Structure 1
Amino acid sequence: MRWWTARKGNVFINYRREDSAAWAGRIHDRLVRSLPTRRIFIDVDNIPEGEPFAELLDQKVAQCDVFLAVIGPDWLDVHDQSGNRRIDNSADFVRIEIASALKRKNILVIPVVVGGAKMPSANELPDDIRELAGRNALEIHSNRFHQDADRLLKRVRSALPFYVRRRRAIRYALTSLTLFSGAAAFYTAVFTSKLDTAFGLERFIRPSAIEWETLTYQDKTNPAYLRDFIDRQTATPEGREAAYWLSFITERAWSKIEDTADTNKIADFLATFRNSDQAKLASSRQEQLHANAEGRSGQTDLSPLARFRDCAECPEMIVIPPGQFTMGSLDSEKFQLQDDDESPRQPITIAKRFAVGRFEVTLGEFKVFVNQTGRSMGDECIGIFDPVQRPGSWGEIPQRNFINAGFVQGDDHPAVCVSWDDATAYARWLSKRTGAEYRLPTEAEWEYAARAGSQESYSFGDDESLLCQFGNGADRSLNAAWDANRWCADGKPFGSAAVGSYKPNLFGLRDSHGNVHEWVADCYHNSYADMPDETKKAGAAWVSPSCIARVIRGGCWAYPAVGLRSASREPWEQFKRSYCVGFRIARTLEER
Structure 2
Amino acid sequence: MNTIVISYRRQDSRDAARMLLERLLHYFPGRVVMGLEGLLPGENLRLKAEQQMQDCRLLLVLIGPDWSHIADDRGRPRLQDRRDWVRLEIATGLQRGVPILPVLLGSTPMPDEHDLPSELHSLLDLQPQRLDDGAGRSAALTGLVEAIRRQLGEADELLALVTAPAPMPAPMPEAISVAGSAEVLPLRRADGSRVTPAPPLPARAPARSAAEPLEHGGWPAWALACGRDEIGAWAEIGVDGVRQRLRRIEPGMFLMGAGPSTPERFADELPRHPVTLTRAFWLADTACSRALWSALLGDDPALHRARPDLPVDSVSWNDIQALFLPALAHEIGYGARVRLPTEAEWEYACRAGQRGSFHFGEVASAAWMHVGGEADGPLPVQALPSSAWGLHQMHGNVWEWCQDAKRRYDSEPALDPQGDPVDIGRALRGGSWAGPARWARASCRFEAPRSQRLDDAGFRFLIEV
| TM score, norm. by length of structure 1 | 0.40
8 Å CA contact retained: 2:260, 2:271: no
2:402 match: secondary structure: strand
Structure 1 CA distance for aligned equivalents of residues 226 and 315 of structure 2: 31
Residues 1:459 and 2:359 are matched in the alignment: yes
Aligned to 2:258: 329
* Partner of residue 420, structure 1: 317
1:347 aligned to 2:261?
Answer: no
Q: 2:292 aligns with which of 328, 342, 365?
A: 365
How big is each residue's C-alpha offset from its partner over 1:171-220, in whole Å with a ceiling of 9 and x where there is no partner?
xxxxxxxxxxxxxxxxxxxxxxxxxxxxxxxxxxxxxxxxxxxxx9x747
State whether structure 2 residue 341 is matched by structure 1 residue 441: yes
Q: Aligned partner of 1:457: which letter?
A: S
Q: Aligned to 1:559, which of 435, 446, 451?
A: 435
Please give the alpha-carbon distance, in whole angstroms, between the structure 1 residues aligned to 2:260 and 2:233.
35
Q: Is the 8 A contact 1:305 1:321 kept in 2?
A: no
> Is 1:528 matched with 2:457?
no
What SS does the corresponding residue of 2:238 show, helix, strand or coil?
A: coil
For the 8 Å contact 2:315–2:457, the answer to whether it is kept is yes
- Is the contact between residue 343 and residue 402 of structure 2 (CA under 8 Å) also seen in structure 1? yes
What does residue range 149-188 of structure 1 map to in structure 2 within 5 Å? none
Of 546, 564, 568, the match for 2:444: 568
Matches of 1:521 and 1:562, distance apart in 2: 23
Shift in CA distance, 570/461, structure 1 to aligned 2, threshold 3 Å: same
Distance 2:244 2:338 in 1: 11
1:515 maps to amino acid: N
SS in 2 for 1:568: coil
Deviations 1:17-48 (A, max 9, x none): xxxxxxxxxxxxxxxxxxxxxxxxxxxxxxxx
**1-structure distance, mates of 2:293, 2:166:** 29
The separation in 2 between residues aligned to 1:220 and 1:569, in whole angstroms, is: 27
Aligned to 1:231: none
**Maintained 8 Å contact 1:409/1:496:** no
Q: Distance in 2 between matches of 1:560 and 1:295?
A: 42
- In structure 2, the partner of 1:516 is 398
Q: Distance in 1 between matches of 2:244 and 2:343?
A: 20
**1:119-518 correspondence to structure 2 within 5 Å:** 219=163, 221=165, 265-267=173-175, 301=226, 305-312=232-239, 313=242, 315-333=244-262, 335=264, 339-371=266-298, 402-403=301-302, 405=303, 407=304, 409-425=306-322, 426-435=324-333, 436-464=336-364, 467-474=365-372, 478=374, 493-518=375-400
Query: 2:128 corresponds to which residue?
Result: none
What displacement does 1:295 show? 8.9
Q: Is the 8 A contact 1:549 1:574 kept in 2?
A: yes
Whole-angstrom distance in 2 between the partners of 1:327 and 1:581 = 22
CA contact (8 A) 1:524 1:548 kept: no
C-alpha distance in 2 between matches for 1:329 and 1:409: 36
Displacement after TM superposition at 1:501 (Å): 1.0
Deviation string, structure 1 residues 259-285 (Cα, Å, up to 9, x no partner) = xxxxx52228x89xxxxxxxxxxxxxx
Instruction: Report the Cα distance in structure 2 between the residues aligned to 1:506 and 1:356, rounded to whole angstroms.
Output: 14
User: Relative to 1, partners in 2 of residues 1:516 and 1:296: Cα closer, same or farther, differing over 3 Å?
Assistant: same
Cα distance in 1, alignment partners of residues 342 and 208 from structure 2: 36
CA distance in 1, matches of 2:233, 2:315: 28
Q: Determine the structure 2 residue equivalent to 1:378.
A: none
Over residues 431-489 of structure 1, what are the superposed CA-to-partner deviations in whole Å (9 max), with x where a residue is unaligned? 1221211100111000000000011111011022xx211111007xx2xxxxxxxxxxx
Which sections of structure 1, spanning at least 5 residues, go unmatched?
A: 1-215, 224-248, 258-263, 272-292, 375-400, 479-492
Contact 2:257 2:270 (8 Å CA) reproduced: yes
Give distance in 2, aligned partners of 1:328 and 1:567: 5
Distance 1:568 1:295 in 2: 37
Q: Percent identity?
A: 27
Hey, which of these two has a bigger chunk of helix by percent? 1
Q: CA separation in 2, counterparts of 1:561 and 1:452? A: 18
Query: What is the CA-CA distance between 1:565 and the residue it aligns to?
Result: 0.2
Cα-to-partner distance string for 1:362-382 (whole Å, 9 max, x where unaligned) = 0111112321xx7xxxxxxxx
- 1-side partners of 2:281 and 2:233: how far apart? 11
Residues 1:582 and 2:427 are matched in the alignment = no
User: Which has the higher Rg, Structure 1 or Structure 2?
Assistant: 1
Query: In the alignment, is the contact (CA less than 8 A) between 1:302 and 1:319 conserved in 2?
Result: no
**Offset at residue 543 of structure 1 (A):** 2.6
- Note the C-alpha offset of 1:530: 8.8
1:563 maps to a residue whose letter is: W
Give the drift of 1:302.
6.8
For residues 219 and 411 of structure 1, the distance between their equivalents in structure 2, rounded to whole angstroms, comes to 27
CA displacement at 1:294 relative to structure 2: 5.9
* Alpha-carbon distance change, 366 to 463 in structure 1, aligned in 2, over 3 angstroms: same
C-alpha distance after superposition, 1:336-394 (max 9, x if no partner): 7xx111112120111111110100000111112321xx7xxxxxxxxxxxxxxxxxxxx
Q: Which amino acid counterpart does residue 392 of structure 2 have in structure 1?
A: R
Q: Aligned pair 1:549/2:449, yes or no?
A: no
Distance 1:530 1:571, change over 3 A: farther
**What amino acid is the match of 2:436?**
P
How many Å separate the matches in 2 of 1:346 and 1:439? Answer: 25
Rate the CA distance shift 1:349–1:307 in 2: closer, same or farther, 3 A: same
* Structure-2 separation of matches of 1:301 and 1:309: 6
More relative contact order, 1 or 2 (CA 8 Å, 6+ apart): 2
> What SS does the corresponding residue of 1:315 show, helix, strand or coil?
strand
Aligned length: 261
Look up the equivalent residue of 1:434 and give its one-letter code: I
Computed over aligned residues only, the root mean square deviation of the Cα atoms, in angstroms, reads 3.4
Cα–Cα, structure 1 residues 524 and 294, in superposed 2: closer, same or farther, change >3 Å? closer
5+ long unaligned stretches in structure 2 = 1-159, 179-205, 211-218
State the partner residue of 2:65.
none
CA offsets per residue over residues 132-169 of structure 1, 9 Å max, x none?
xxxxxxxxxxxxxxxxxxxxxxxxxxxxxxxxxxxxxx
Letter of the structure 2 residue corresponding to residue 266 of structure 1:
E
- Between the aligned partners of 1:512 and 1:587, the Cα distance in structure 2 is 17
SS in 2 for 1:364: helix
Contact 1:358-1:508 within 8 A present in 2 as well: yes
- The Cα of 1:494 is off from its aligned counterpart by 1.8
One-letter identity of the residue aligned with 2:250: P
Specify the code of the residue in structure 1 equivalent to 2:237. D
1:80-116 Cα offsets, whole Å, 9 max, x none, are xxxxxxxxxxxxxxxxxxxxxxxxxxxxxxxxxxxxx
Q: Give the partner amino acid of 2:287.
A: E
